[in-house]
Amino acid sequence: MANVSSHKHFILDGFNELGALRTVLFVPFFFLFVLSVLANSLLLFVIVKQRSLHSPMYILIAIITCVDVSLPLFFIPGMLLSFLFDWRGISLIGCLAQMNFIHLLGAFQSTLLLLMAVDRYFAICRPLHYKELMALPRFLKFTVPLIIRNVFLVLLVVILAGRLPFCGVNVINHCFCEHMALVELACGSTGVNNLVGLLSVFLIPISDFIMITASYIIIFTSVLSSGKSSVKALHTCVTHIVVMAVTMIIILTAFLSYRIGNHLPAPIRVFISIMYLFFPSCFNPIIYGIRTTEIRGHILKTLMCRHFVQTLNH
């Protein structure tokens, strides 16, 4: 009966090595979660409200913001409850569902950065045809295959994980249902799961990274050859490159941590896996809000207006 039970239920035991100090983690993660929700909500509100920001680039930033708001909701609240009340149990179905949503939204983090690189390529290298190329029908022809790729690969990873036999050990050394953390508990062969997991890494974040890099190399070459007239466009690209670089470094570090997992302390590996999903949610609104001049101006106006209204009410 114990073995049957282990097939259906798991215990999320991330940061268990910290003992009593595990409860203290509630404070920083709760603060970052609240900050992330507020900052992303403000950024999304400003983009939706201001008609001048309804161009393709800002719409893509708004979609990234929606992902940044949604993704932490699938694991941070449960993680906080685990820290505070020691609620660690999760069913296999719940684990697979959580894994599906987390990895799917995580996959779209790099894909949206790719779409932003394509937008900047058309805006800078083919400005006369920008509106035509970024028109919805043409844009969907490029976007839909990427969406299908992400959905198919993530579903394949989750389905293969769900078919594994789990015999006895049901403690996941993680704060949420990460793919490799669950696969490590299987008592059968996991060769196919490891292969498909690696394949999904190469076909989503790494291939996106290669295409993004190629786009920005072409953009920079075009900007440098055109002179000072494209300095503003170059400034916008630098913002995107900063976001891309930080996001990709954390993503690749998280994936590689399970390939060199025996050489990393478990709490560090868990922390890296959490931050590759959570850090962009905290980092992106600050970068886009501060470095993007148009958004920064509207955010300041919104905050000053609200402060003025509150002052009048008092």
- pLDDT digit string, tens, across residues 288-302: 877 677 787 777 877
Report the range of poorest mean pLDDT among 36-40, 76-80, 164-168, 291-295. Answer: 291-295
Number of structural domains (the chain) is 1
Nearest to 81 by CA among 93, 73, 71, 91: 73
**Gap between the Cα atoms of 123 and 68, Å rounded:** 25
**pLDDT(246) > 70:** yes
DSSP 244-266: HHHHHHHHHHHHHHHHSGGGS-H
**pLDDT(256) > 80:** no
Q: Which two tokens stand for residue 10?
A: 């798991």
State the pLDDT at residue 306.
Answer: 54
State the pLDDT at residue 261.
Answer: 52
Domain that includes residue 228, residue range? 2-313
- Side chain identity at 278, as an amino acid letter? F
Cβ atoms < 10 Å from Cβ of 131: 12
Q: In the structure, how many helices (H) and strands (E) does the chain have?
A: 13, 3
State the pLDDT at residue 235.
Answer: 66
- List pLDDT tens digits, range 157-186: 999 999 888 887 788 888 999 888 888 888
Q: Which two tokens stand for residue 165?
A: 């036999």
Question: Which strands, in side-by-side order, build the sheet including 9-12?
Answer: 89-91, 9-12, 171-172
Evaluate whether 244 touches 113 at the Cβ level (below 8 Å): yes
Beta pairing, strands 171-172 & 89-91? unpaired
**Domain harbouring 93, CATH code:** 1.20.1070.10
Evaluate whether 17 touches 177 at the Cβ level (below 8 Å): no
Beta pairing, strands 9-12 & 171-172? parallel
Whole-model pTM: value is: 0.85
